[in-house]
Amino acid sequence: MSGGHIPFSHKGRSAMHAIPSKGSIWLMLKQMFNRVPSKWKFSTLVLCIMLFISLLEFSIPQLTQFTIDKIIPEKNMTR
């Protein structure tokens, strides 16, 4: 890991489609927090917002599925 490069596991793919290994993801996060010590609160806030958005992206299809599978067949529109 000389020169500050972060290792990727290519597994036969081109460099554009390289998927970072789990170890390199933690290394990237560690480097990010070490480089921006004055902004770690802001960086943590951004990570929390990203997590919240990811959870919303999961919950919206689940809500749609519940509506289609349960509420519409019962014709119970008061929920």
Q: Where are the beta strands (DSSP E) in the chain?
A: none
Same domain? For 46 and 79 the reply is yes
The most confident of 2-6, 12-16, 65-69, 72-76, by mean pLDDT = 65-69
Same domain? For 29 and 45 the reply is no
Nearest to 24 by CA among 36, 13, 12, 9: 9
pLDDT at site 15 = 56
What's the pLDDT tens digit per position in 15-62? 556 676 777 888 888 887 787 777 878 888 998 999 999 999 989 899
CB distance 9 to 18 below 8 Å: yes
Same domain? For 20 and 46 the reply is no
Q: What is the pTM of this model?
A: 0.43
Structural domain range at position 56: 41-79
Same domain? For 47 and 74 the reply is yes
Terminal-residue alpha carbon distance, the chain? 56
- Count structural domains, the chain: 2
pLDDT at site 13 = 53
Same domain? For 45 and 29 the reply is no
Which H or E run includes 45? helix 40-66
